[in-house]
Amino acid sequence: MEHDTLSRDEALKNRPPTVSAEEWEAAYQRLRAKEKAVMRERDALAAERRRMPWLAVEKDYAFIGPDGKMSLLDLFDGRRQLIVYRAFMEPGTGKWPEHGCIGCSLIADQVAHPAHINARDTSLAFVSRVAQADLGRMKAQMGWEHIPWYTLTDDFDADFGVDEWHGTNAFIREGDKVFRTYFINGRGDEQMGNPWNYLDMTALGRQEEWEDSPEGYPQTPPYGWWVWHDDLDTDPGRE
């Protein structure tokens, strides 16, 4: 134990100096100004995403859910937008069948309850290439019951850039017509899981009045759409 403590101290031999409260506050304010600038840049980037052109989805894709065969449109669950994460919970990944991909598992662990993006007319889906029985087992084992999981059956993953690596696609629909609006993968996926980053990648954004969005986009005051995830009456978008 003493050896471990000494090793940790040695590892921090180049740590920053100890300073007075006044010096610490000054350093904090300098860094905070930079953080606020980055936040404003992120807001501007999200505004650009809301102006990205849409790509029509022309093929009919098939998935399997807990109740059987489903289309991509079915994954919207009656809402206007859909976010799909390609997870590798299948043979050849991680320590299957005990565990799937460790990175995909970490991402699933950090997913907030979907009720919060549902309140913004947006659904979430995790998809992988194993039977529903395996996905159900993994959900129960890992505590992922709040995440909707579906089984891939065709070229959806290859067509949307997630056949060999994880990634998150965003879609929107007009009636029964589906469009791809954005895609995040690689290290960008590390940020996914909370409602804010999910909504910021969508075509409609957080739908709050302060956002820079095209004229006519749905917007409401901040905080007004927040929900308790166990309140089933707070999902206005679902048809």
User: Domains in the chain, start-ordered, CATH in brackets?
Assistant: 47-200 (3.40.30.10)
pLDDT of residue 5: 59
pLDDT in tens, 4-35: 556 777 778 888 999 999 999 999 999 999 99
pLDDT tens sequence across 118-158: 999 999 999 999 999 999 999 999 999 999 999 999 999 99
31 phi and psi angles, rounded to 5 deg: -70, -35
Percent of the chain with pLDDT over 90: 87
The model's pTM: 0.91
For residue 222, what are the CA distances in angstroms to 115, 173, 211? 17, 24, 10
Ranges 3-12, 109-118, 228-237, most confident:
109-118
- pLDDT surpassing 50 at residue 1: no
Sign of the CA dihedral 142, 146, 152, 155?
A: negative
pLDDT tens figures, 182-213: 999 988 888 999 999 999 999 999 999 999 99
Neighbour-count burial of 182, counting CB atoms closer than 10 A to its CB (0-12 exposed, 13-18 middle, 19+ buried): buried
Around 58, how many Cα atoms within 13 Å sit in the side-chain half-sphere? 1
pLDDT value of residue 189: 87
**How sure is the predictor about 236, in pLDDT bands with cuts at 50, 70 and 90?**
low
